[in-house]
Amino acid sequence: MPSVLKIEMPDSPLSGPATNSGFWPALPLAEWKDTCETLHMWTQIVGKIRMALTPPVNHWWHSTLYVSACGLTTSAIPYASGLFEIEFDFVRHRLLIRTSTGATKEMALAPRSVADFYRELLLLLAQMGITVRIWTMPQEVPNPIPFEQDEQHASYDPAYANRFWKILVASDAVFKEFRGRFVGKCSPVHFFWGSFDLAVTRFSGRPAPPRAGADPVAAEAYSHECCSLGFWPGSGDMKGPAYYSYTAPAPEGLAQAKISPGGYSSQFSEFILDYDEVRNSSSPRESLLSFAQASYEAGANLGQWDRKSLERRG
């Protein structure tokens, strides 16, 4: 018989360089708002390319991006008889395109309009033999401008793009640790380019009642009871970066539930924990895990989830 493999688990998934304060940097929205909005549009273009060429998966999981060692990636996208991948590199500040044939192309991440980014990316793909058509109207943003016409959003501050990525790296590790505690249906930890947030979603295993007036995106996303944890850099009424958690459909009494750290926001109908509270805590990992667990338990208990069969024990 083969010997039993012994796995030494680290004390923390962030026991390497990500425990340094540099991986929980300050990210005041006012300082990089223009860059954030431009980057949001760039990720929508790349995300729509992935969505157009990837076989559908429930809850739109085929459309998301993923945190990588240097930025955000589409992961492998099937095309013809091979694969290709598009990755935002927030260390070297390049957009990289790689194919399974070994071909590579790249373009600069620098101050440039959304229209210019869109044109160059599609040109590079065409030069690699990849043709794709996407709906060029941005989603989930006020006053959308078609990508090919958007000369308004043209900012890129590399220092703040790098800070944003570092927070995603740190958050991704904690979200994956939290995900590992759950044995029921659960999403990957992934980045939604529509709402521009990193998220992981647990499911009770029961279908949810249809949402009145829901569009096709929301109807599919919330077809089953779920509890979602995420990080959002902020915009609109959210004046800065924050972690959020919600249960959908929200069980009766959820708005009155008390958790720590964080609390329920009647404005957003979600539990909210300011990023700066996590960043400035003695242990950002523990603070974030406590918020994730407490907000999940509030929704799961009130919603009568079968926690005994859904959660990993020991």
Per-residue pLDDT tens over the stretch 263-283: 999 999 999 999 999 999 999
Instruction: Give the residue, 215 or 302, on which the prediction is more confident.
Output: 302
Q: Which residues contact 188 (CB under 8 A, 6 or more apart)?
A: 61, 64, 66, 200
Residue 204 token pair = 């009770």
Confidence category of residue 21, pLDDT binned at 50, 70, 90 = low
pLDDT at 213: 86
Q: What's the average model confidence in pLDDT over 101-108?
A: 97
Question: Is the model's pLDDT at 3 over the cut of 60?
Answer: no
Question: Is the model's pLDDT at 106 over the cut of 50?
Answer: yes
Confidence category of residue 12, pLDDT binned at 50, 70, 90 = very low
pLDDT at 236: 72
Query: Cβ distance 191 to 66 under 8 Å?
Result: yes
pLDDT at 295: 98
The ranges assigned to domains in the chain are 30-149, 158-310
pLDDT at 270: 97
pLDDT at 1: 41
Query: Could you tell me the strand order of the sheet in which 224-232 lies?
Result: 190-192, 197-207, 224-232, 242-248, 270-274, 263-265
pLDDT at 63: 97
Confidence category of residue 204, pLDDT binned at 50, 70, 90 = very high
pLDDT digits (tens, 9 = 90+) for 243-258: 999 999 999 999 999 9
Q: What is the rounded CA–CA span in Å between residue 187 and residue 178?
A: 12
Mean pLDDT of the chain: 93
pLDDT at 23: 87
Q: What's the average model confidence in pLDDT over 167-183?
A: 98
Bridge partners of 84, per DSSP, are 77, 99
Q: What is the pTM of this model?
A: 0.92
Question: Is the model's pLDDT at 134 over the cut of 70?
Answer: yes
Percentage of the chain modeled with pLDDT above 90: 87
